[in-house]
């Protein structure tokens, strides 16, 4: 049991190296699906493993055995989780559940608030489109998607004035891809998984990056040119950056945030631009299959541990009733 239960607990250790690899090598749509679903599956199986160890340890308590009608000596011989181990895993599980619940509630509150904001946005705009982009009269350079039912696209006049018609189409196609792909669900899934298991934290950055890449590739396809999409992103980012530095107070706070977010490596925007200037990513079947295999094995071992524990309980109950 000990060996099997280690697998779901250790698999998330691979998240840090694997997340970056998957986000860089796979087509962004595949990467996003894979990262978000693997994150949820690994978080669930690692929490499941913690729960099973805790339960196995609890079976050493005479009270639990009496309640479950199990034979105490049988239980003692059958499993390896000791009480101190059980206390540790129980505490970890409690922390994981609390953190996941908190993260989930925070994210839902943020989404509800965004939805409320988007209702206040005007319904008509000078940019016609099926998704009703809203142009706000604002000199700052910004464009974003407000998630919701339906999602809304907001573009500042400052950004539009800067771009050529073809480049504007890139921005709108990018934001439309966020709305249509419901990308906020993927980032929320990654956030939830990371809250439940801190080892999965690298997934949140990887998913944020891969949904942007997903939208970038859609925009490039809509515009019919990947270099044009790259150019638009670079242009908008540089203009937004210059725009921010004109506002000293805000730029200072953002500087701190940016330094923390990007760490030592290259920031998100240059990575996106570089990716668009390279040939499109290959399908990466092997990499995807390996990831899926690892996640499935991790989940299956948690299930195997559960069924082992279940047989032990049944056996201990049988022994107790035979006496």
d(C-alpha 299, C-alpha 295), whole Å: 6
Residue closer to other proteins, measured from CB, 60 or 180: 180
Token readout for 26 is 């796979």
Q: Report the residue number, 106 or 296, with the smaller CB distance to other proteins.
A: 106
Pairwise CA distance, residues 46 & 299, whole Å:
8
Query: In the block, which residue shows the tokens 């990513």?
Result: 281
Write down the least CB distance from residue 273 to other proteins, Å: 6
Contact 223, 166 (CB under 8 A): yes
- Closest approach of other proteins to the CB of residue 267, in Å: 4
How near is the Cβ of 99 to other proteins at its closest, in Å?
Answer: 14
Q: How far apart are CA 314 and CA 198, in angstroms?
A: 35
Separation between Cα atoms, residue 285 and residue 100, nearest integer Å: 32
Give the shortest CB-309-to-other proteins separation in angstroms. Answer: 38
CA distance 79 to 136: 64
- Identity of the residue, 97 or 254, whose beta carbon is nearer to other proteins in the bound complex: 254
Tell the smallest beta-carbon distance from residue 214 to other proteins (Å).
Answer: 11
Distance in Å, CB of 301 to other proteins, minimum:
33
Compute CA 245 distance to the chain's CA centroid, rounded to the nearest angstrom: 31
Max Cα–Cα distance, the chain, nearest Å: 85
114 versus 309: smaller Cβ distance to other proteins: 114
**Residue nearer to other proteins on the CB measure, 76 or 138:** 138
CB of 192 to other proteins, least distance (A): 13
- Give the C-alpha distances (Å, rounded to integers) separating 249 from 138, 240, 245, 287: 18, 15, 9, 45
**Among the listed residues 4, 86, 7, the one whose alpha carbon sits nearest the alpha carbon of residue 46:** 7
Name the minimum Å distance from CB 259 to other proteins. 6
Residue closer to other proteins by CB (options 74, 210) is 210
What number of helices (H) and strands (E) belong to the chain? 14, 3
Assess whether the previous peptide bond of 25 is cis (omega < 30° from 0). Answer: no
Give the residues lining the site for other proteins (CB under 8 A).
106-107, 109-111, 113-114, 117, 120-122, 134, 136-138, 140, 142-147, 154, 156, 159, 171, 174-175, 178, 183-184, 187-188, 211-212, 215, 227, 230-231, 233-238, 240-241, 244, 250, 253-255, 257-259, 261-262, 266-270, 273-274, 277
Q: Which helix (H) or strand (E) holds 144?
A: strand 143-146
CB nearer to other proteins: pick between 27 and 148: 148
Between 53 and 219, name the residue whose CB sits nearer to other proteins. Answer: 219
Whether the CB-CB separation of 275 and 215 falls below 8 Å is answered with no
Which residues does residue 146 pair with via DSSP β-bridges, in sequence order?
152
């Amino acid at each position: 049991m000990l060996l099997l239960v280690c697998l779901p607990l250790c698999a998330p250790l691979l998240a840090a190296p694997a997340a970056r690899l998957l986000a860089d090598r796979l087509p962004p749509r595949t990467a996003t699906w894979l990262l978000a679903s693997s994150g949820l599956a690994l978080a669930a199986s690692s929490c499941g493993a913690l729960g099973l160890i805790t339960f196995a340890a609890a079976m050493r308590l005479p009270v639990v055995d009496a309640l479950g009608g199990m034979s105490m000596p049988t239980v003692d011989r059958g499993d390896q989780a000791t009480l101190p181990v059980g206390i540790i895993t129980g505490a970890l599980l409690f922390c994981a559940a609390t953190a996941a619940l908190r993260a989930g509630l925070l994210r839902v509150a943020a989404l509800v608030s965004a939805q409320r904001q988007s209702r206040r946005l005007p319904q008509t705009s000078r940019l016609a489109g099926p998704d009703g982009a809203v142009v706000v009269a604002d000199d700052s350079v910004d464009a974003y998607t407000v998630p919701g039912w339906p999602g809304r696209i907001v573009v500042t006049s400052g950004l539009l004035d800067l771009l050529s018609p073809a480049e504007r189409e890139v921005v709108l196609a990018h934001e439309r891809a966020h709305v249509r792909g419901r990308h906020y669900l993927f980032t929320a899934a990654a956030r939830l998984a990371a809250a439940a298991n801190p080892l999965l934290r690298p997934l949140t950055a990887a998913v944020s990056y891969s949904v942007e890449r997903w939208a970038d590739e859609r925009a490039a396809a809509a515009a019919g040119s990947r270099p044009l999409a790259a150019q638009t992103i670079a242009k908008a980012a540089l203009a937004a950056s210059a725009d921010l530095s004109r506002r000293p107070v805000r730029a200072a706070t953002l500087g701190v945030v940016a330094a923390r977010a990007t760490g030592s490596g290259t920031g998100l925007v240059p990575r996106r631009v570089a990716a668009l200037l390279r040939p499109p990513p290959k399908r990466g079947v092997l990499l995807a299959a390996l990831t899926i295999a690892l996640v499935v094995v991790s989940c299956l071992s948690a299930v195997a541990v559960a069924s082992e524990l279940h047989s032990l309980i049944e056996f201990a109950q049988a022994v107790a009733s035979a006496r």
